[in-house]
Amino acid sequence: MCRPRCQLVSLEDTPYYHVVSRCVRRSFLCGVDTSTGKSYEHRRGWIETRIHFLSSIFAIDIAAYAVMSNHYHIVVKITPDQLSALTDEDILRRWCTLYQGPIIVQRMLTGACLSDVEFHQVRELASVYRKRLGDLGWFMKCLNEPIAREANAEDECTGHFWESRYKSQALKDERALLSCMAYVDLNPVRAQMSDTPESSEYTSIKERLKPSETLAQSILSNFTESSSPKDLSRKPLLPFKRPKQPASDVELPFEWQDYLVLVDLTGRAVDPRKRGSISKRLPSILSRLEISEADWVIESCNFEENFRRRQHSHRRIA
C-alpha cells in the first residue's frame, strides 16, 4: 500500500530527497522513438526549464538532475526557512506566477482597497500558499501537470502521461546524498546516451560545467513584469562548499573538485546491470576540461559571483 507523502517527507530527519517521475505510456517522454523515428528531444528542454523556474519560486533547491528519454531524476533540498523573510504580498505574487489566484488576491496585488474581512481572507490564503511553496508534493504537481498537458496536446491525445505518483527517497546522510547525486549525473552515461558526464545534455553536471545562455534566457522569460516579485530571479543550482572551509546551511557538504573526481571514477567502473561506462582510455575529467588545479580552486571559490555576472548579462540581452 502506498504511504502518504506526509510520512515520506520528514524535514526533521533530512532536507534532501531524490525524486523520480516516469512516463506511463509507451510513447516517449523525450528523446527519439526508434520504432517510428519521431523525435521528442525538445521535451527535455521543457522539463529542464520548468525545474529551474519552479526552484526560483519554491523554497526548494536543486542539487542534481538528469532528464532521460522516459523519466527524470531530481535531487532536491527542501528549505522552507527561505520563506520566513517574505511578506504575504511576496508569497501571493510568487503563487500567482503559477496560478491565476482568487479574484480577491488579484485585487489586492493591483492595489485595490480591501475591507477588514477581505484583508483577513487574503492573509489566510497567503498562509496556505506559504506552506505549499515549501512542499515537495506541490513542487512536483506544478512540474508534472503543465508538461503532461503540453505533451498530450502535441500528441493529440488525452489521459495519463505520468505514472500515478512520483517516487521519493530520503537521503539521510552525506554518503547517501553523494552517491545519489553521482548516480543521477551518470544516468546518461550508464544508458549510453553520452560518453562522458560533461557531454551529457540536460543534466546538472553539464550545467555546472558549461552553463547555457539559452536556458537562462528561457527561465527568465517565464517571469513576466506583471506577476513576478521584484526580488525573484533564476536561482542557481545548490553550490558546493568552498575548499578547506566548513559547509554553510546553503551549501552542499562536500567540495566540487572532489565530487567531479568521484563522478569520473564511478563512471569508469563497469556496472553489469547497466550498458554504458566512461572509457578507461580517457584522461581524468579535469584533464579533459583543460583545467589546472590552481585555476579550478579560483573558479570554484567564485562560482556564485560568476553566476550572477552571467545572469545580469543574460538579462541585458533579453
Q: What is the pLDDT of residues 152-186, one digit of tens each?
A: 888 888 888 888 788 999 999 998 999 899 999 99
The DSSP code sequence of 143-157 is HHHHHHHHHHHHHT-
Q: Please, is 164 exposed, middle or buried when counting C-beta atoms within 10 Å of its C-beta (0-12, 13-18, 19+)?
A: exposed
Task: Name the 3-class secondary structure at 152.
Answer: helix
Phi-psi category of residue 236: left, alpha or beta, with phi > 0 → left and psi -120 to 50 → alpha: beta
Q: Are residues 40 and 80 in the same domain?
A: yes
pLDDT given at position 273: 64
Q: Are residues 55 and 108 in the same domain?
A: no
Handedness of CA 194, 195, 199, 205 (dihedral sign): positive
Q: Are residues 160 and 77 in the same domain?
A: yes
Q: For residue 279, what is the DSSP state?
A: -
Percent of the chain whose pLDDT exceeds 70: 74
Find the CATH number of the domain harbouring 59: 3.30.70.1290
pLDDT given at position 217: 55
Q: For residue 36, what is the DSSP state?
A: T
Q: Are residues 126 and 248 in the same domain?
A: no
| Alpha carbons 25 and 296: distance in angstroms, whole number | 44
Task: Name the 3-class secondary structure at 257.
Answer: helix
Cell (9 digits) for 203: 543534466
Q: Are residues 117 and 235 in the same domain?
A: no
**Which of these ranges, 16-20, 279-283, 310-314, has the smallest mean pLDDT?**
310-314
How many domains, the chain? Answer: 2
The per-residue pLDDT for range 117-152, each reduced to its tens digit, is 999 999 999 999 999 999 999 999 999 999 999 988
pLDDT band at 58 (very low <50, low <70, confident <90, very high): very high
Cell (9 digits) for 130: 506559504
Domain hosting residue 122, numbered range: 88-132
Q: Are residues 184 and 258 in the same domain?
A: yes
Q: Are residues 92 and 176 in the same domain?
A: no
pLDDT given at position 300: 44
On the question of pLDDT at 213 being above 70, the answer is: no
Q: Are residues 48 and 172 in the same domain?
A: yes
Cell (9 digits) for 132: 505549499
Q: Give this prediction's pTM.
A: 0.81
Checking DSSP bridges between strand 240-241 and strand 252-255, what pairing results, if any?
Answer: parallel
Cell (9 digits) for 187: 544516468
On the question of pLDDT at 304 being above 50, the answer is: no
Q: Are residues 274 and 147 in the same domain?
A: yes
Given 106, 132, 158, the domain boundary residue is 132
pLDDT band at 292 (very low <50, low <70, confident <90, very high): low
pLDDT given at position 2: 59
Q: Are residues 119 and 139 in the same domain?
A: no
Angle between helices 136-155 and 42-57 (to 10 degrees): 150
Q: Is the Cβ–Cβ distance between 286 and 293 less than 8 Å?
A: yes
Q: Is the Cβ–Cβ distance between 282 and 198 less than 8 Å?
A: no
Q: Are residues 103 and 215 in the same domain?
A: no
pLDDT band at 18 (very low <50, low <70, confident <90, very high): very high
Average pLDDT, rounded, for the chain:
81
pLDDT given at position 184: 94
On the question of pLDDT at 100 being above 50, the answer is: yes
**Which of these ranges, 95-104, 260-269, 295-304, has the smallest mean pLDDT?**
295-304
Q: Are residues 12 and 81 in the same domain?
A: yes
- Report, as an integer, the average pLDDT of 62-82: 94
Cell (9 digits) for 185: 549525473
